[in-house]
Structures are given as structure tokens and as C-alpha cells.
Amino acid sequence: MALVLKSGFTFDYDNLFGEGKVTQADLDSYAEDLKKAHEAMKVMRETGFIKAHLSKDGNPEKVYFSKLPYITEENGKLNLNSPASIKRLHDFTERIRNNVDVVVSLGIGGSFLGNKVLFDIFCGEFWNTWSAEKRKGMPKVYFSGQNIDARRTGDIIDHIKAIAEHKGGKIKVMLMCMSKSGGTLDTMSNFMVMYDALKKCDNIEVEVVAVTDPNMEKKTLLKQLAVENGWETFAVPDGVGGRFTVFCEVGLSTAAVIGMDIEKFLEGARDMDKACQNEDIWQNPAMLNAALKFAASEKHGRNIEVMMPYGDYMKSLSEWYIQLLAESLGKQFDKDGKEVCYGRTPLVAVGTTDMHSQTQQHQEGALDKVVQFIKVEKWANDLVIPNAFPEAKKLADISGVTMSEALEVARQSNADALKSNHRFNACFSLPELNEYHLGELLYLLAMSVAYEGELANVDAFNQPGVEAYKRIMGPKLQELKASK
Ligand code: PA5
């Protein structure tokens, strides 16, 4: 059983729905809630309204992520994607090409995770070792700010200095500081350390680009600095929470830096949004995914979701999803103020790597998981396993097949084995790992948590829980500073 879109994107739920799994009766029991959730999504698309959603300051706040796939003049007024903003991103690409040697993208959480997905999938592990020609003139890219780790930050600084020395002459380094709130400790501490260290180098020219809330009346600290120093800025618009920013200028400015096809990425998201407007649950990938996972959790105790793409460069996609699911749905109180302590727990896994570690748990451990596979049907660069040692029968037996065929046999075998032991699993299939299908997948996952928020009656767009440690950390840092 599978939902197949015209594009070829497939959601195979055969091992999640049916006898001994989530049943039709389970879904029928949510019929009214599903109708209401679908209605709420329609209202959100049209007006940005989400019942009971409040901002960090406790004020009603609009939710605009579903507008991001659309490139319209009207969206431009809300600092969302417009023909002018997309043109500016293209101009940015051309300004950087053959002009900037190194970009350091600084950010954490929503200002990091989506960017890393784009980089890993479209650049891979060795981008920074390639020649400028092979990178089509685009810069080397490093990430920082996603921890407060002096060792790694120091290493990046030393590495950039070494690049400058090796090249001779002067190199240009662009620090892209990304923070919606404009003052996040992790991001800003790394930014200041790096800015200060690199500025002192005669052979390094430093340029800063700030990606932050564009509000000019109530400027963020980063915006204030950008205005004072004349730094170029991109926007993290109102109504777009961190975990949805991969479709706004946070993700798109990174896409511009690596020369990705931005329009195709948004087109994939847009087509998925259209599919998710279908009121028939069997034709609506987000409603179906949310309903099946919600029922698996509520009716069958499968409240852990293992996100397990097959392919190394998709690991960061799992990590992006962890934030999306955890921050959106892990809530103590529902929209009516009742204590519910809701939230399925997400886990990162990668196939085949984790078949040699986690799979034992998935196969025989507690019956509390749904394993969500992601597979790519056609890989761009496949390799045939050669008959390198014909005398070794075991090795000769696997020769002649491609590595991606072997990868899929491994995934399918894992799915079959899980199924044989009543372990729920499902699979998203991407015809190819390109901008369009990645846009489809990321948008589907974002829209699914929005549906699930409605089904569970929790606000999927706030994150009050992360304020608790911040309230403790602030004074502690002050104390530390005073003791110096
Ligand atoms: O989803 C979220 O809102 C968070 O993960 C934020 O993205 C993260 O805390 C970083 O915040 P900021 O972009 O304001 O620096």
C-alpha cells in the first residue's frame, strides 16, 4: 500500500497500516479530528492563524511557513519569498562566485540544521577539498555556532589561517551570522571569537552577512550591528519559526552560497503543499503520515520514531527532523491548558550504518517504535561492485551488482525483518536525490507535524520548554562575568 504522487514521490505505509498495525478503525475514531485538522490547515494557509498559538512573548502570532514555497509579490510584503527576494539570492550567488574563498555559516537549531541538510546533500563530505573550478567558483563552506566548543572553533580559525597561508596573497572570508533573535549565546560567542581572530590577520579580508529578524523598529542585536557596520542582511521573517526556516532566507542564502537550484527546491515544496490540500486522507501525504504516526503512538504505544534514511549524506536530514518533531510536538500542556505531556520521541539512524548497532533494538527491543525509512530510487553516481577477488566465493557472489542496489536490498531486508516481528515501519521514496524531491520531503515533514499538532491539540509552533534553562543560564553567566 502506498501513496504515489505524480512526481514519483512515494509514501509506502504497507508495514504500518492493516491487520495487527494501525487499523481503519483506529483512523475512523479520529475522523472528526482529522476533518478539523484539515480545516485548521486551510485557515493557516489563508490567514496564518493557528488556534492558541502564542509567540515567546505571549502574544498571538501568525504562522507563515506554508506560504514559503510560493514566490509572490504579496509574500514580499511579509518578507517571505518574492520574485525580488529570489533575484537577490541569485545576485548573491554571482557576487560570491570566484570572489569569496571561504564562507563560515554560524547558527544553531533552526538557524543551522536545515542549512546542514542542504550542504551535506548537495556538496557532500569533500566539497572543501575540491578545486574552485570543480566547485564552479563557489566558496569552501564551514559550519560553526552549533556548539560552544572552543576546540572546534579554534580548529576552524587555524584551518582558515592555513588556507590563507597556502594560497598566498589575501583571501576573502564571509561570516554568515544567522540568528532570528539575534543574540543567541552559542552563535554570537562563536561569531565574536571568529570575527576578532580573523580580523587580526593581514592576509584575510572579513565580510559579514547577517541573517536575522528584519524588523527595523525593534531591532535585534544582530540587526543593530548590521545597520551600524553596513553588513548585508537577509531576513528570518515573522511567523516562520526556526525549524521551518529552511524554506526562507536562512536555508535559501545557504542554497545561494553553494549554487543550489532554489526554484526547484521551492517547486518541490509547493507541489507537496498542493498534494497536502487534498481532503481525502489517502491522497494527502501529510495528513496520512500524521494520522498513522499519531494512531501508532496513541493506540499501539509506538511513540518513538526512528528516522532512518539510507545514505550517508542524509544523516543531517534525520538531525533536522529530530528538532522538527521534538520542538513541535513535545509539549506539557495542550491548547486548552490541560496537562498532557505529549510528544513522540525522535531518534537519528542511518542505513546501513545503524543496522550494525540500533537494529537489534528495533527488531527485538520494546514495542515502542516506528522505523521511518527514506530511500532514493536512482542515485546519481552509482558504482558496480567488481569481481576483484574471484577466488573468494563470498565476495564473487556480490560482484556485478551496484552499490545502490545492494543498499536497497539491505533496506528492504531490514523492513521485511521488522515486519515479520510486528515492528511498525514505513518508507518515503525519492525518485532521485535532487532539489525538487528534497523540497517535497522536507515540506511533507513540516506539514505533517502541523497536522499532528492539531490531532494532539498541542501548539506545534511554540517551544516554551527551551526557555526554562535559558532563565537559569542568563543569571549564571552574569555571575560568572562579575566574578572575573
Ligand atoms: O526552532 C527554534 O526556534 C530554535 O531551535 C532556534 O532556531 C534556535 O534556538 C536558534 O535561535 P536563533 O535563530 O534565534 O538564534
Catalytic status, residue 217: no
Nearest CA to ligand 1 atom 3: 242
Atom of ligand 1 nearest to the CA of 184: 15
Q: Are 214 and 237 in contact (CB under 8 A)?
A: yes
Same domain, yes or no, for 376 and 282?
yes
Instruction: Compute the distance between CA of residue 252 and CA of residue 81 in angstroms, rounded to an integer.
Output: 10
Same domain, yes or no, for 151 and 211?
yes
How many angstroms separate the most distant Cα atoms in the chain?
A: 75
- Is the residue at 73 inside a domain? no
User: How confident is the model at residue 108, as a pLDDT?
Assistant: 98
Catalytic status, residue 356: yes
Catalytic status, residue 46: no
If one residue of 56, 108, 223 were mutated to test the ligand 1 pocket, choosing by the most ligand atoms within 8 A of its CB, it would be: 108
C-beta 45 within 6 A of ligand 1: no
C-beta 213 within 6 A of ligand 1: no
Q: How many domains does the chain have?
A: 2
Reading the block at residue 200, the C-alpha cell is 587580526
Nearest CA to ligand 1 atom 8: 109
278 DSSP β-pair partners: none
Choosing from 298, 319, 327, 435, which is the catalytic residue? 327
In 3D space, the residue among 51, 187, 67, 173 whose CA is nearest the CA of residue 115 turns out to be 187
Nearest CA to ligand 1 atom 2: 242
C-beta 145 within 6 A of ligand 1: no
Instruction: Compute the distance between CA of residue 305 and CA of residue 347 in angstroms, rounded to an integer.
Output: 6
- Is the residue at 105 inside a domain? yes
Let me know the angle formed at the C-alpha of 438 by 79 and 269, rounded to the nearest 5 degrees. 45
Query: For 104-149, how does the pLDDT look when each residue is reduced to its tens digit (9 = 90+)?
Result: 999 999 999 999 999 999 999 999 999 999 999 999 999 999 999 9
pTM reported for the whole predicted model: 0.97
468 Cα to the center of ligand 1, angstroms: 14
Same domain, yes or no, for 356 and 449?
yes
φ and ψ of 222, to 5 deg? -65, -40
- Is the residue at 64 inside a domain? no
- Is the residue at 309 inside a domain? yes
- Is the residue at 259 inside a domain? no
Instruction: Compute the distance between CA of residue 349 and CA of residue 356 in angstroms, rounded to an integer.
Output: 11
Same domain, yes or no, for 49 and 114?
no
Reading the block at residue 348, the C-alpha cell is 537519528
DSSP string, 129-192: GS-TTTTTTPPEEEEESSS--HHHHHHHHHHHHHHHHHH-S-EEEEEEEE-SSS--HHHHHHHH
Q: Which residue do the cell numbers 596573497 mark?
A: 169
Instruction: Compute the distance between CA of residue 442 and CA of residue 23 in angstroms, rounded to an integer.
Output: 27
Instruction: Compute the distance between CA of residue 214 and CA of residue 256 in angstroms, rounded to an integer.
Output: 19
Same domain, yes or no, for 21 and 145?
no
375 Cα to the center of ligand 1, angstroms: 29
Same domain, yes or no, for 13 and 118?
no
User: How buried is residue 243: exposed, middle or buried, by Cβ count under 10 Å (0-12/13-18/19+)?
Assistant: buried
If one residue of 184, 191, 221 were mutated to test the ligand 1 pocket, choosing by the most ligand atoms within 8 A of its CB, it would be: 184
E strand or H helix at 481, and its extent? helix 465-482
If one residue of 466, 470, 473 were mutated to test the ligand 1 pocket, choosing by the most ligand atoms within 8 A of its CB, it would be: 466
C-beta 108 within 6 A of ligand 1: yes
- Is the residue at 472 inside a domain? no
30 Cα to the center of ligand 1, angstroms: 33
Same domain, yes or no, for 370 and 448?
yes
363 Cα to the center of ligand 1, angstroms: 35
Pairing of strands 2-4, 10-12: antiparallel
Instruction: Compute the distance between CA of residue 146 and CA of residue 153 in angstroms, rounded to an integer.
Output: 10
User: How confident is the model at residue 94, as a pLDDT?
Assistant: 98
- Beta-carbon contacts of residue 100 (< 8 Å; ≥ 6 apart): 139, 172, 173, 174, 207
Atom of ligand 1 nearest to the CA of 107: 15
SS3 335: coil
Same domain, yes or no, for 348 and 383?
yes
DSSP string, 353-417: GGGGTTHHHHHHS-S-EEEEEEEEEE-SS--BPP-S-TT-HHHHHTTTSBHHHHHHHHHHHHHHH
Which amino acid appears at position 460 of this protein? A
Which residue stretches of the chain have pLDDT < 70? none
- Beta-carbon contacts of residue 55 (< 8 Å; ≥ 6 apart): 61, 462
CATH of the domain at 178: 3.40.50.10490
Range of the domain at 392: 2-56+265-466
Same domain, yes or no, for 232 and 344?
no
320 Cα to the center of ligand 1, angstroms: 12
- Cα within 13 Å of Cα(313), Cβ side: 16
Same domain, yes or no, for 324 and 457?
yes
180 Cα to the center of ligand 1, angstroms: 7
Same domain, yes or no, for 174 and 316?
no
- Is the residue at 63 inside a domain? no
Whether residue 129 is preceded by a cis peptide bond, meaning omega within 30 degrees of 0, is: no
17 DSSP β-pair partners: 22
Same domain, yes or no, for 52 and 87?
no
C-beta 404 within 6 A of ligand 1: no
C-beta 179 within 6 A of ligand 1: yes
Choosing from 356, 393, 481, 484, which is the catalytic residue? 356
Reading the block at residue 411, the C-alpha cell is 533496506
Let me know the angle formed at the C-alpha of 157 by 204 and 244, rounded to the nearest 5 degrees. 100
- Is the residue at 336 inside a domain? yes
Instruction: Compute the distance between CA of residue 337 and CA of residue 334 in angstroms, rounded to an integer.
Output: 5
Q: Which residue do the cell numbers 513535545 mark?
A: 330
If one residue of 112, 181, 211, 331 were mutated to test the ligand 1 pocket, choosing by the most ligand atoms within 8 A of its CB, it would be: 181
Instruction: Compute the distance between CA of residue 411 and CA of residue 377 in angstroms, rounded to an integer.
Output: 12
241 Cα to the center of ligand 1, angstroms: 8
